[in-house]
Amino acid sequence: MKIELKNISKSFGSLEANKEISISIPGGIHALLGENGAGKSTLVKIISGQLNPDKGSILISDKKINLGSPKIAINNGIGMLNQNPLDFANLSVLESFLVGNTQNSFISNHRKTKEKILNLFDNYDIKIDLNEKISSFSIGQRQQIELLRLLYNGVKIIILDEPTSAFSLEQKKMIFDTLNKLTKEDITIIFVSHKLDEVFEICDSGTILKEGKVVYSMNKPFDSDAIFAKMFDDTRTKNKITNIEKRSDKFKLFFDELDMTKHKTFSNESLLDFGTIVGIAGLQGSMNDRLVKNFFSRDFSKSGIFFDNGDYIEKNKLYYMPADRLERGLFEDLTLKEHFALTYSHINKYINWNDIAIYGEKKIQEYDIKANITQKVDQLSGGNQQRLMLSLLPESPGVLLLEQPTRGLDYNSANKMWDIILHRKKNDIAIIFSSTDLDEIWDYSDIIISVSGNTIMNIDSKQNLNKENIARYVSGIID
């Protein structure tokens, strides 16, 4: 199905997010590329009806359409799978399919509806209990459910916003197979991604945005050098961890026996230097994110972080940043200024908005957040939301507990995040982060915890491991 965008423009105050964007997509899978902050998120929100453009038009099969809400978009055959699931966390999977769907009336046959949904899940080999609550699933599983809900509602144009950032390798392969099947059924895919290997593997055409403008259009076969040059500045470099002097202070990680296999290479009595970076590797859906959170909340085990004298590190020294930015990390309807006011309140219980503005502008510059202080969080790109979350953590030394700190970020944005994190390494007690990216785990960790499912398979210093070891552990294989 053909979709055309003509002269789409959108501003938020003085910030021009989209500037006269025109794109024609005849069908197939079309990549939408660009660094975080290039205007991709704003554009797909306009296409999916979440935002209205200031000017411009959208045509589907040469027919101009009006978009004012996601419901109108779906009625026009347009659906979007967001990077952060926009679902009904407190409903069951079955109930989430029944809410707002276009195929059933209130008095529809419940049994036949359930059978149809089950057949859809079986067709794409997804094993999920329809009676389970959405909140019980991982982000990757929730995205799979959302994709099938779009198909169930009959969409013909599907926008995938960084769809594989929360998928395991198996889930990604399944999604790619599904997308190829869908294009044969005249369904057009707009594939928003920063992963060029995925674009080369699956896409038929593409558009690169930079600073809100179209800077390059392309068709297969793709020129990787040209694409990289158009997407990124010449200043991009791969981060290397610089050697930092060892610090005399020590801490200990304690792990509950119930969390671990009998295969142990790490002692609960081992002392680690302040500033150590601990990476928790695992496939999507394993306990790597939950383990990071548990260090903060201790809600499912006694595993925790101690000073070398055996005392728990106080909770006010544990700085937790969740993976799901808009569900647990930020308030999407509040402005950046209001977020900074909330974190600044520990300094002074009375809010002085002039002081907050000065403090906030300093943070925006320091963390390279491409936004105005008066913008609402839901108007920011994923990378800017991620940097905002990091900027809200206390500046005093503590333990950074980071769930997938670069999830969904492009190459440069991920590097900038790690620049900031590594800068903190010099003063913080420890940095503990989770990731499904084994390269990221390998590049930045001093100690690596490998988990499979709900079990810690191995804990060891990186100098005693290689990437193959880690891959085997997270796959559940113990030598």
Q: Based on DSSP, count helices (H) and strands (E) in the chain, helices before strands.
A: 15, 19
pLDDT in tens, the chain (479 residues): 899 999 999 998 877 899 999 999 999 999 998 876 788 888 999 999 989 999 999 999 999 988 778 888 888 899 988 766 778 888 999 888 887 655 555 455 677 788 888 988 888 777 888 999 998 887 667 877 888 888 888 899 999 887 766 566 666 777 788 788 888 888 999 998 767 778 888 999 999 998 899 999 999 999 888 887 787 654 334 444 545 556 678 888 887 776 776 555 566 667 888 999 999 998 766 788 888 988 888 777 778 788 888 787 888 899 999 988 888 889 989 999 999 998 876 666 778 899 999 999 999 998 888 889 999 998 888 888 988 999 999 989 999 999 999 887 777 778 888 998 998 888 999 999 999 888 899 999 999 999 887 788 888 899 998 888 888 888 676 65
Confidence (pLDDT) at 470: 87
What domains are defined for the chain?
Answer: 3-231 (3.40.50.300), 250-474 (3.40.50.300)
Q: What pLDDT is stored for residue 106 in this prediction?
A: 47
Quote the CA–CA distance of 265 and 69 in Å, as a whole number: 54
How far apart are the C-alpha atoms of 405 and 1, rounded to whole Å? 36
Residue 165 buriedness (CB in 10 A; 0-12 / 13-18 / 19+): buried
pLDDT value of residue 245 = 58
Distance CA 301, CA 94 (A): 31
pLDDT at 102: 54
Residue 230, both tokens: 């158009």
The residue type at 84: N
Q: SS3 of 271, please?
A: coil
8-state DSSP, 162: S
Backbone φ and ψ of 195, nearest 5°: -95, 100
Instruction: Confirm if 80 and 189 have CB atoms less than 8 A apart.
Output: no
Structure tokens at 130: 């329809």
- Nearest to 458, CA basis, from 447, 446, 443: 447
Count how many Cα atoms sit within 13 Å of the Cα of residue 435 in the half-sphere of its side chain.
Answer: 24
**Which of 240, 238, 241 has the alpha carbon at shortest distance from 425?**
241
Query: SS3 for 21?
Result: strand
Beta-carbon contacts of residue 179 (< 8 Å; ≥ 6 apart)? 29, 160, 189, 191, 202
- CA atoms 409, 411, 416, 422: torsion sign: positive
Cβ–Cβ < 8 Å for 455, 291: no
- Dist. CA 4–CA 59, nearest whole Å: 5
CB of 172 closer than 8 Å to CB of 11: no
